[in-house]
Chain A
Amino acid sequence: MKEKRYNWPVTTLLIIGTILILFPIYITVVNAFKTPAETAQSILSLPGTFTFANFLQAIEMTNFFNAFGNSLYVTVFTVIFTVLSNSLVAYAIARNMHKKTYRVLFYYFVSAMFVPFPIIMLPIVNQMSSIGLMNLNGLVLLYIVYGLAFNVFLYTGFIKAIPKELEEAAIVDGCSRWGVFWRIIFPLLSPINATVGILTALWAWNDFLLPLVILSDKSDHTLPLVQYVFQGQFATNYNLAFASYLMALLPMIILYLFLQRWIISGVTQGAIKS
């Protein structure tokens, strides 16, 4: 088909619509570079001179690199261990779904999707503090464990579609069940691993409530948590606040610019499968 007539009215409307999406980001960027006096004159105008003073001050005040490091630590380790462990659990379940025990286990994990976090919130804080895990490692552990509900569901659907013949041939050749999983199944899981990895990364990086209740030490605070803690001090200096917000949002925006296709398809796959 050689129909290359574009629908320009719709294109134009959609372009106008992006203003609504980009406006808050525009406000953030221009004001992050302005002085309070410039902002007072006009919120919308471009900065007269690009000053990095707001950024330097925000970095110092919020201890930005520490918070960035914490967020990165939590996200990286959560993603790695989630992908490795949740896929393994799902494999064991998917290959034994004909047995009652494993079917029960499957529903046990998956039904946790319906449990709202507030019911866990109060007891888990007491529990984590009694075992001394009110820190970044405790947070990583909780993300990995709580991710099981949804990820087991995603992975089992995918693994069930992989023919068993492959594995049986390898077993006959003397490969152990662990070897089968790591050498044959896990590599085949790449598309779903990417989906789980992306969804987990977005969750761990942007989450606010769990770090809020779990992280007791200030030096452990993640990026969203730091913005919350400093909100009171930012109130008097919006330019400083915007510089800080921009720095907190920027890592994800940059990643998105490069991995857009992957991220969109990952999120879509995750949602459709549910």
Chain B
Amino acid sequence: MTESADIEGGVWFSPFYAHRSKGTLKGEDRVLKKKPSVYFYMIIPALVLFFSFHTLPVLQGIFYSFTNFKGYGNWDFIGFQNYINIFQDDRAYNAYFFTFKFAIVSTVLVNVISLIIALGLNAKIKFKKTLRGIYFMPNILSILIVGFIFNYIFAVFIPDIAENIGLTALTTSILGSRDYAWVAIVIVAVWQAAAFNTILYLAGLATVPHDLYEASSLDGASTWQNFWHVTFPLIAPFFTINMVLAMKNFLMVFDHIVALTGGGPGRSTQSISLLIYEDGFAGGQFALQSANAVIYFVIIVTISIFQIRILQKREVQL
């Protein structure tokens, strides 16, 4: 693109520097002779802050992952030792295994449930607005506090009911079970996340033209066929967005776990974020957990790129 294409109101804007032209300039533009362009001033404070408080910490994190820094005091470079240690660390394996198990199960459940609710809300129903409002409500509530309320339901309410009706299998709290505590976390996560995904599916369903339904029902297509062959392909992009967003959020799971199990029993429900937080701050493993965070970062980027590829492929198909 040539410079002349950049003329805006008589001022020439090269990337950052504006030159005064011979036009009749008034106001601030007159002062801009040989000075950075006004756009530059609009961006520079944000750029400096963003670099200092986002990029710099990321770089520091990567830097410290090659040291034995404890969060304070002296440190030395130790090369890839932290990375080697992470790969031999049972706690890290445990956290990755739990986080992926949780994220995959929750993502699938959330998407199935939200799609069903959205189809219901999209039908010709009474109290449409009220029902939509209720189903969306969990999205606006603090996950931590919701988690505390569910904590009480799992730890006190359900065992209490189970005892009254003689259901011995449920008389002990699920949160105290090494094998099943993660299920409780999935339940809370799905309870909350379904709200957001439902609304997105509803937006997707709103784009499906109504005559398409009618055409296919005249053909005598069953409801299921109707959904599978007409509706679903049309909302497929929303399905992908929902899968990507849900997966990304669930891989970061933190609040739910703090409120429900604190990572226990043992470390059976310790997520990657929680491990980095607990051992990185209190455990004196600043450097080791920095290495862990770098690995986590690489994994999230890889998954995101992979999912975006799929997303773009689908967009081409449509």
Q: A interface vs B, CB < 8 Å?
A: 3, 5-8, 10-11, 13-15, 17-18, 20-22, 24, 27-28, 43, 85-86, 88-89, 91-93, 95-96, 98-102, 105, 109, 112, 114-127, 141-142, 144-146, 148-149, 164, 167-168, 171-172, 174-179, 181, 202, 205-206, 208-209, 213, 223-224, 227-228, 231, 238, 241-242, 245, 248-249, 252-253, 256, 260, 263-264, 267-268, 271-272, 274
Q: How far is the CB of A119 from chain B (nearest CB, A)?
A: 4
**Chain B residues closer than 8 Å to A179, beta-carbon distance:** 27-28
B213 in contact (CB, < 8 A): no
Interface centre among A123, A164, A227 (most CB of B within 10 A): A123
For window 234-280 of B, CB contacts with A under 8 Å fall at 241, 245, 251-252, 254-255, 258-259, 272-273, 276-277, 280
Q: How far is the CB of A257 from chain B (nearest CB, A)?
A: 8
5 tightest CB-CB pairs across the interface, nearest first? A171-B9, A176-B28, A123-B60, A174-B26, A119-B293
B294 in contact (CB, < 8 A): yes
Interface centre among A3, A17, A274 (most CB of B within 10 A): A17
**Chain B residues closer than 8 Å to A123, beta-carbon distance:** 56-58, 60-61, 64, 290
Instruction: State in angstroms the CA–CA spacing of A122 and B137 once bound together.
Output: 33
Instruction: State in angstroms the CA–CA spacing of A207 and B169 once bound together.
Output: 36
Instruction: State in angstroms the CA–CA spacing of A145 and B57 once bound together.
Output: 13
Q: How far is the CB of B204 from chain A (nearest CB, A)?
A: 9
Total A-B residue pairs with C-beta atoms closer than 8 Å?
273
Given A206-B141, A231-B148, the answer on whether A122 and B50 have CB atoms closer than 8 Å is: no
**Chain B residues closer than 8 Å to A144, beta-carbon distance:** 49
Task: Indicate if the CB atoms of B297 and A171 lie closer than 8 Å.
Answer: no
Given contacts A127-B53, A227-B148, 5 further A-B contacts (CB under 8 A): A89-B46, A119-B293, A121-B280, A124-B57, A206-B141
16 of the cross-chain contacts (CB-CB < 8 Å) are: A6-B124, A10-B120, A11-B131, A24-B150, A43-B157, A98-B1, A98-B6, A119-B57, A176-B38, A208-B255, A209-B254, A227-B145, A231-B148, A245-B148, A245-B149, A271-B245
Closest chain A residue to B206 by CB distance? A268
Task: Indicate if the CB atoms of A241 and B148 lie closer than 8 Å.
Answer: yes
Task: Indicate if the CB atoms of A112 and B124 lie closer than 8 Å.
Answer: no
B126 in contact (CB, < 8 A): yes
Instruction: State in angstroms the CA–CA spacing of A260 and B199 once bound together.
Output: 13
Closest chain B residue to A170 by CB distance? B9
Instruction: State in angstroms the CA–CA spacing of A142 and B52 once bound together.
Output: 10
Task: Indicate if the CB atoms of B123 and A267 lie closer than 8 Å.
Answer: no
Please tell me the number of chain B residues within 8 Å of chain A, measured between CB atoms.
97
B81 in contact (CB, < 8 A): no
Instruction: State in angstroms the CA–CA spacing of A149 and B50 once bound together.
Output: 9
Closest chain A residue to B210 by CB distance? A1
Q: How far is the CB of B217 from chain A (nearest CB, A)?
A: 13
Q: How far is the CB of A74 from chain B (nearest CB, A)?
A: 13
Task: Indicate if the CB atoms of B117 and A14 lie closer than 8 Å.
Answer: yes
Instruction: State in angstroms the CA–CA spacing of A24 and B15 once bound together.
Output: 56
* B125 partner, pick from A3, A6, A95, A168, beta carbons under 8 A: A6
B153 in contact (CB, < 8 A): yes
Task: Indicate if the CB atoms of B38 and A264 lie closer than 8 Å.
Answer: no
* A249 partner, pick from B47, B142, B156, B297, beta carbons under 8 A: B142
Instruction: State in angstroms the CA–CA spacing of A121 and B124 once bound together.
Output: 48
Task: Indicate if the CB atoms of B138 and A21 lie closer than 8 Å.
Answer: yes
Closest chain A residue to B272 by CB distance? A118
